[in-house]
Amino acid sequence: MKSKINVYKFHESNSLEWDTFVSCSSNGTLFHKRSFLGYHIDRKIEDHSLMLKINEKIISVFPAAVIYNGSKKILCSHPGATIGGFVTNSNPSLKKSFDLVQSLVHYAKNENFFGIRVTLPPDCYSDILSNYLEYAMLNIGFTYLKREVSSIMFFSDTIGETMKGFKPSHRQAIRKAEREGVRVRKSTDFETFYGILKNNLSTRHGVIPTHSLKELELLNTIFPQKIVLYAAFLNDKMIAGVLSFILNKRIELAFYISHDEKYQEKRALNLLFYKIFQKAIQNKTKVFDFGIFTENEEPNFGLARFKENFGARGVFRNTIQIKL
């Protein structure tokens, strides 16, 4: 007899159970942890995360929130995280993938949601490559809303082997930064980094950072080993930084990348990434995600080229949706 999947709305009392499941899953990340999703200070989010169980045992969790299109409710990947989707304890079979998606759709209909919107992680985030869940969603009626492209780099076993994928210009830039006296170290000076980041985003794109300074400082306090600021200094002055998120044992993501343009010729970012790669490889990290180089599907060719010159290549970060 087939066991039924039951879908339950998450409650705070389930936090430990949820995070334990994510920690032991095949594709869970820092973005899926309740301890991450609950940090928001400056944004009001109506959480509607889900736990999917068979015989009271969790088989999947689904971080989500309610957003509104006029008066219509949409069940959406949690706005406090870059990616969402189903977290599973193993890579589900094709049949189990269809069962999970159908259970989600059935729940959303019963709760009078107008639609579901999900931002999926890049395929390489999972221990084992499988598109079963995405295929099941598309087969059941989801369609692509947006397809951004993220720069993904796969590490070799040593930094020397990894550097063979660098363009000569990037290897030269690393040596130049070292000759110019640029030094890289971890930092907790988020205020200075935030000033560089805010100015950079405003000048180049006319936008402000997604997170407030207070939120970044809180995240670092909660996850001091997982959310790390690497900064480049010249004569003790911070001139560039990368805020890196260690998402799980395999994946590291460069969440914010910024530099003081007055010191661009010092090539601090090249040295920063070299040092970050060196540390990641020592920690047995397999995949480095530079983040997207598209904005609403429009490519930034210069940004893509900078990342490609380290050996990175583009992988989809898809957002899909269904109207119910």
Band (40; pLDDT cuts 50, 70, 90): low
Residues 132, 169 share a domain: no
90 and 204 in one domain? no
Say what the pLDDT of residue 41 is: 55
Instruction: Decide: residue 25, CB within 10 A, 0-12 exposed, 13-18 middle, 19+ buried.
Output: buried
**Do 113 and 28 fall into the same domain?**
yes
29: left (phi over 0), alpha (psi -120 to 50) or beta: beta
Regarding whether 99 and 128 lie in a shared domain, the answer is yes
- Of residues 1 and 233, which shows the higher confidence score? 233
Tokens 């999703």 correspond to: 37
Same domain membership, residue 167 and residue 275? yes
Q: Which domain holds residue 64?
A: 6-147+319-323
- Range name among 31-45, 172-186, 308-322 with the lowest pLDDT average: 31-45
H/E stretch holding 42: none
Same domain, 175 and 279: yes
Residue 261, pLDDT > 50, answer: yes
Are 201 and 223 in the same domain?
A: yes
314 in any annotated domain = no
Cβ(139)–Cβ(98) below 8 Å: yes
Are 39 and 136 within one domain? yes
What's the pLDDT at 91? 83
Q: How many other CB atoms are there within 10 angstroms of residue 57's CB atom?
A: 9
| Domain count within the chain | 2
Judge if 104 and 138 occupy the same domain: yes
Q: Checking DSSP bridges between strand 227-234 and strand 237-246, what pairing results, if any?
A: antiparallel
The enclosing domain of 271 has a CATH number of: 3.40.630.30
pLDDT tens by residue, 176-218 = 999 999 999 999 999 999 999 998 887 776 777 888 898 899 8
Is position 304 within any domain?
Answer: no
Residue 282, C-beta contacts closer than 8 angstroms, at least 6 positions apart:
none
pLDDT tens, position by position, 115-135: 999 999 998 998 888 999 999
Q: Are residues 213 and 126 both part of a single domain?
A: no
Residue 309, domain member (yes or no): no
Q: Is residue 57 part of a domain?
A: yes
Task: For residues 33 and 99, state if they share a domain.
Answer: yes
Concatenated DSSP letters of 145-197: EEEEEEEEEE--SSHHHHHTTS-HHHHHHHHHHHHTT-EEEEE--HHHHHHHH
- The chain-wide mean pLDDT, for the chain, equals 93
Residue 320 CA to residue 245 CA, distance in Å, equals 24
Tell me if 262 is assigned to some domain.
yes
Domain identity same for 91 and 197? no
Any domain includes 313: no
Residue 55 pLDDT greater than 60, yes or no: yes
Q: What is the pLDDT of residue 126?
A: 87
pTM exceeding the 0.85 threshold for the entire prediction = yes
What integer pLDDT is reported at residue 211 of this predicted model?
84
Residue 234: is its pLDDT beyond 50?
yes
Please check whether residue 312 lies inside any domain of the structure: no
Is there a domain that residue 187 lies in?
A: yes
pLDDT in tens, 295-306: 899 999 999 999
